[in-house]
Amino acid sequence: MGKTRSVSELLAEGKAALERLKAGADAAQATLVALQRALPPEVAAHVFGAVLDADRVLTVLVDSGAFATRLRYLLAEQGDGLAGRLGVEAVARTVVRVRPREAARGAGEGGGRQ
Question: pLDDT tens digits, the chain, 114 residues: what are they?
Answer: 678 888 788 777 888 888 989 999 999 999 999 999 999 999 999 999 999 999 999 999 999 999 999 999 999 988 788 888 888 888 999 999 999 887 555 555 444 443
The predicted pLDDT at position 111 comes to 45
Calpha distance 32→60 (Å, rounded)? 8
Distances (CA, A) of 75 to 15, 22, 84, 92, 95: 37, 27, 13, 12, 10
Please say whether the structural domain 7-108 has been given the CATH code 3.90.660.
no
The predicted pLDDT at position 41 comes to 95
Q: Determine how many CB atoms are found less than 10 A away from the CB of residue 112.
A: 9
The predicted pLDDT at position 17 comes to 85
The predicted pLDDT at position 55 comes to 92
